[in-house]
Structure 1
Amino acid sequence: MKKSKIYTIYIYFFGALGGLLFGYDTGVISGALLFITKEFNLTPTLEGLVVSSVMFGAILGSIISGPVSDRIGRKKLIFILGLIFTLSTIGSSWPPNISVMIISRLILGIAVGGASGMVPMYLAELSPANNRGAITAINSIMNTSGMLLAYIINYSLSHTGNWHLMLGFALIPSVLLSLGMIFMPESPKWLAQKKNITKAKNVLRLTHKDERAVEHEIFVMESLAKKEEKGEFLDIFKSWCRPIIFIGFMIAILQQLVGTNAILYYAPTILSQSGLGDSAAITSTVGIGTVNVIMTIVGVLLVDKIGRKKMLLTGSVGMGISLSIIGVAEFFPGNIGLIMILAMCLFMVSFSSTWGMITWVVLAEIFPLKIRGSAMGICTLGLWTTNAFISLLFPVFVEKLGTGTIFIIFAIVCGFSFYFVKTKLPETKGKTLEEIELDMRFGKSKIS
């Protein structure tokens, strides 16, 4: 029993490290960009490349991580991702020129994209059934905690302008992740698929409370392996699949199109241009990051009580109002920094508790088992691609159209997201995955 508790804590800790790295590496650039831009005299296009290179790498990482993990195992892949995190962090933190930085961040993105899906899946496959939902939620919380840590590091170093250390701090958790994975067990599900039932049982004994729970888990794995219907990629184009794929794909890209990454990645730049100094702009992101973490926790606590659909609709309204305030404020002269900070906090309250986490819940629920892997791959690809292009083009569009116009456009997208969820997305609260699959497959899902 003691051994089980020790290993459970150990597993959660290193799972959290993977989520922490994902959040830190995507959030730290927001503050570092101010000083990188000055040192290298970046154009808006190069600014966008520095930020978005991670996202373009993540597209590749999200595509290849699944097949690679099926071949070599979850544990080995996460260990390799830790090594990629470490080497690419060195390259992006102390580059001889901007080209090396962009290439290093592109490689870093491969690790980010791989970790975004692989770490929670690995933890879920290790954990008892009654704890899997909570573990997935912990990973989401750690993602936002990683972003908050990035904002705090940025703030603590803002008076020095040392962007090298801002980016380089990620070396600590990345090295720990690789070292920790050496002593982690392999996924029991992967071992069972490879017919290593004895090893799978031994791994389950590390995290399960009693032998009956272990035997039950093994029985379920073997039963699913025998009964699971083999799906093919072309199945996603069948008439009954297309509407489900469309809903999932739209939810995935709308999460990015509502403007969240413009705030997460460019908040200090926007606030600095609104009348705040560089240090004050970076300081304000600590508050925004804190709100992000707290409201993610609130969303985790409410999603099974209120329901996915109602929370997404509420989030769309809150985000639309906050983005409209930011957009309108930009058209008025004067120091509008305080208004921008409050509006960004309102946005994070609305986004983090709804679209930020519920998108992943919905995508995990609505797809039938037969096409789940392929469907998730398509939606994840759409999400990261949208993320990358917004990150790349935001500085360019701001230069051409102005910050106010861009945020008004984001607000209009929020209005569309409200309409789409209201008319297209069925509520899945309280239903088993099998019930959801039958409803979606045979057209019985209720839009309510």
Structure 2
Amino acid sequence: MNSVAQPAVGHSKATAIFVCILAALAGLMFGLDIGVISGAQQFIQKEFAVSDSTIGLIVSFMMIGAAVGAMVAGWLSGHLGRKRSLILGAVLFVAGSILCGMAWNPEVLIVGRFILGVAIGLASFTAPLYLAEIAPEQIRGAMISLYQLMITIGILVAFLSDTAFSYSGNWRWMLGIIAVPGALFLLGVFFLPYSPRWLMMRGRRAEAEQVLLKLRGNPVEINKELSDIEEQLKVPQRGVHMFFQNANFRRSVGLGVLLQVMQQLTGMNVVMYYAPRIFEGMGYNTESQLWFTAIVGLVNVLATFIAIAFVDRLGRKPILYAGFVVMTIGLGVVGTMMHLGIHTHAEQFFTVAMLLIFIVGFAMSAGPLIWTLCSEIQPLKGRDFGIGCSTLTNWVANAIVGWSFLPLLNGIGEARTFWLYAAFNAVFIVFTFWLVPETKGATLEEIERNLMAGKRLREIGR
């Protein structure tokens, strides 16, 4: 390695950050698709004259497609590589966006949403995995959190786009315009390096060394990282086999699944998918609904910077505690206001403010940190399988939450629906204490050694 010209460490860190930002743009596609369907629903419902049940299918079929994408993403990322999997996801995203914009009936729209979902399922598995393998450990939490930041930016951009097109009611442009950033992301992915871990898994050590030289710059650090990866790869990746043979691996897979269920049951995606409907329940007209929805998107973006700034300083668990407490209070108060009745402008603004406080709680904690933890806790030899299980769980739970929200509103009422999600967040404070490890400052290799040594889950990051 000494014979190779070595870039300065500072320059290498800047290169690593740039690569991580480019990879994290996969989250932009996810956010765009969440955002556009929120504003387009009422116009789709009017043009096609469909019921709330059909709207629920249009919303949730994206998540069903994402579950399918997540199921095959582990195999694809292992055989094609992380980079090529991201390329495939981008191609499907562009195709699905165009089909949604051209849809001539609800069935075609559902198919387009399904294709978009497959694309997002691939990206939601591959991008955090790629980021965990590319980022230096000192900033790994912040870099993986970039993925969530890009999701929030995508949601905001989509909400603003929806608001602009709402004056004409052109939902086709709302859904079709997101093909443009999808195409730009597709172009950018071609400039990403291959994951050094994946290269090592394929026996391409020299290429892995060259990638790490650009991303780390420190020969000692590079040699140690290559040695650690090499040691772990002595036994090949056998996730399914490990799951049935190794109880410690089953624990990490179970924790990843639980974390993703927790993220979905916070109620955040309900707000993202149905924000205009929620604001309608607060007494706002159509234009106000969409503008407040855009404000939700803006707050979501800004609050995500809290996680990026503090995740590698304060750690994962303190931020999760704070987030679940804030979300419990926010949704609890929103439910109470809806129960008491919202009659004045002051009561309307107060209820909106509490909903925004809930958004802050999610965006600073469970939003980015669940993805971070799920990419950190799985051992290398079962990482594709473990992250695949947790990502699949995310989308299945997401589809159930997205489909069930309107029946819940119509069945038990708005107040009880928000109280239900507030109660979930309160329970998650306890789950975080008993089960979630603090992984701040720990290498992926150290986390794996602690897991396989049989340490309690909440101690594997020590």
TM-score, normalised by the number of residues in structure 1:
0.89
Provide closer, same or farther for how the CA distance between residues 214 and 379 of structure 1 changes in structure 2, counting only shifts above 3 A: closer
Contact 2:377 2:447 in 1 (8 A): yes
User: In structure 1, what is the equivalent of residue 147 of structure 2?
Assistant: 139
Structure 2, unmatched stretches of 5+, are 1-6
Provide closer, same or farther for how the CA distance between residues 278 and 130 of structure 1 changes in structure 2, counting only shifts above 3 A: same
Contact 1:317 1:415 in 2 (8 A): yes
User: In structure 2, what is the equivalent of residue 353 of structure 1?
Assistant: 364
Structure 1, unmatched stretches of 5+, are none
Say whether residues 1:66 and 2:54 are aligned partners. Answer: no
Deviates more, 1:357-366 or 1:427-436: 427-436
Contact 2:78 2:384 in 1 (8 A): no
- The one-character-per-residue Cα deviations of 1:161-197 (angstroms, maximum 9, x if unpaired) are 2221222221111111223334444333333332333
Amino acid at match of 2:120: V
User: In structure 2, what is the equivalent of residue 327 of structure 1?
Assistant: 335
User: In structure 1, what is the equivalent of residue 261 of structure 2?
Assistant: 253
> Aligned with 1:23: secondary structure?
helix
Amino acid at match of 2:421: F
**How far off its partner does 1:284 sit?**
0.8
User: In structure 2, what is the equivalent of residue 384 of structure 1?
Assistant: 395
Provide closer, same or farther for how the CA distance between residues 421 and 87 of structure 1 changes in structure 2, counting only shifts above 3 A: same
Provide closer, same or farther for how the CA distance between residues 319 and 130 of structure 1 changes in structure 2, counting only shifts above 3 A: closer
CA distance in 1 between partners of 2:434 and 2:12 (Å): 46
Alignment size in residue pairs: 447
Alignment of 1:276-287 (within 5 A): 276-287=284-295
User: In structure 1, what is the equivalent of residue 3 of structure 2?
Assistant: none
> Aligned with 1:28: secondary structure?
helix
Contact 1:47 1:395 in 2 (8 A): no
- The one-character-per-residue Cα deviations of 1:139-180 (angstroms, maximum 9, x if unpaired) are 221121111111121222222222212222211111112233
User: In structure 2, what is the equivalent of residue 93 of structure 1?
Assistant: 101
Contact 1:44 1:399 in 2 (8 A): no
**How far off its partner does 1:232 sit?**
4.5
Amino acid at match of 2:415: G
Deviates more, 1:391-400 or 1:132-141: 132-141
Say whether residues 1:117 and 2:117 are aligned partners. Answer: no
CA distance in 2 between partners of 1:124 and 1:339 (Å): 40
RMSD: 2.9
Contact 1:45 1:393 in 2 (8 A): no
User: In structure 2, what is the equivalent of residue 233 of structure 1?
Assistant: 240
User: In structure 1, what is the equivalent of residue 33 of structure 2?
Assistant: 25
Provide closer, same or farther for how the CA distance between residues 121 and 434 of structure 1 changes in structure 2, counting only shifts above 3 A: closer
Amino acid at match of 1:342: A
- The one-character-per-residue Cα deviations of 1:91-142 (angstroms, maximum 9, x if unpaired) are 1112011110011101110001111121233344445555544432222211
- The one-character-per-residue Cα deviations of 1:294-330 (angstroms, maximum 9, x if unpaired) are 2111022222333333322222221111112222222
Amino acid at match of 1:197: R
Alignment of 1:85-234 (within 5 A): 85-127=93-135, 130=138, 132-209=140-217, 217-226=225-234, 228=235, 231-234=238-241
Provide closer, same or farther for how the CA distance between residues 141 and 41 of structure 1 changes in structure 2, counting only shifts above 3 A: same
Q: Which of 410, 414, 421 is equivalent to 1:399?
A: 410
Contact 2:137 2:441 in 1 (8 A): no
Contact 1:205 1:211 in 2 (8 A): yes
CA distance in 1 between partners of 2:91 and 2:251 (Å): 40
Contact 2:75 2:384 in 1 (8 A): no
- The one-character-per-residue Cα deviations of 1:208-242 (angstroms, maximum 9, x if unpaired) are 4366766665455444433x475452543554455
Deviates more, 1:189-198 or 1:201-210: 201-210
**How far off its partner does 1:63 sit?**
1.4
- The one-character-per-residue Cα deviations of 1:31-69 (angstroms, maximum 9, x if unpaired) are 111222222222111111111111111101111112112
Contact 2:73 2:388 in 1 (8 A): no
Provide closer, same or farther for how the CA distance between residues 310 and 132 of structure 1 changes in structure 2, counting only shifts above 3 A: closer
Deviates more, 1:309-318 or 1:39-48: 309-318
Provide closer, same or farther for how the CA distance between residues 13 and 377 of structure 1 changes in structure 2, counting only shifts above 3 A: closer
Amino acid at match of 2:290: I
Say whether residues 1:290 and 2:301 are aligned partners. Answer: no
User: In structure 1, what is the equivalent of residue 314 of structure 2?
Assistant: 306
User: In structure 2, what is the equivalent of residue 36 of structure 1?
Assistant: 44
Provide closer, same or farther for how the CA distance between residues 242 and 156 of structure 1 changes in structure 2, counting only shifts above 3 A: same
TM-score, normalised by the number of residues in structure 2:
0.87
Provide closer, same or farther for how the CA distance between residues 221 and 430 of structure 1 changes in structure 2, counting only shifts above 3 A: closer
Contact 1:92 1:101 in 2 (8 A): yes
Say whether residues 1:423 and 2:428 are aligned partners. Answer: no
Amino acid at match of 2:343: G
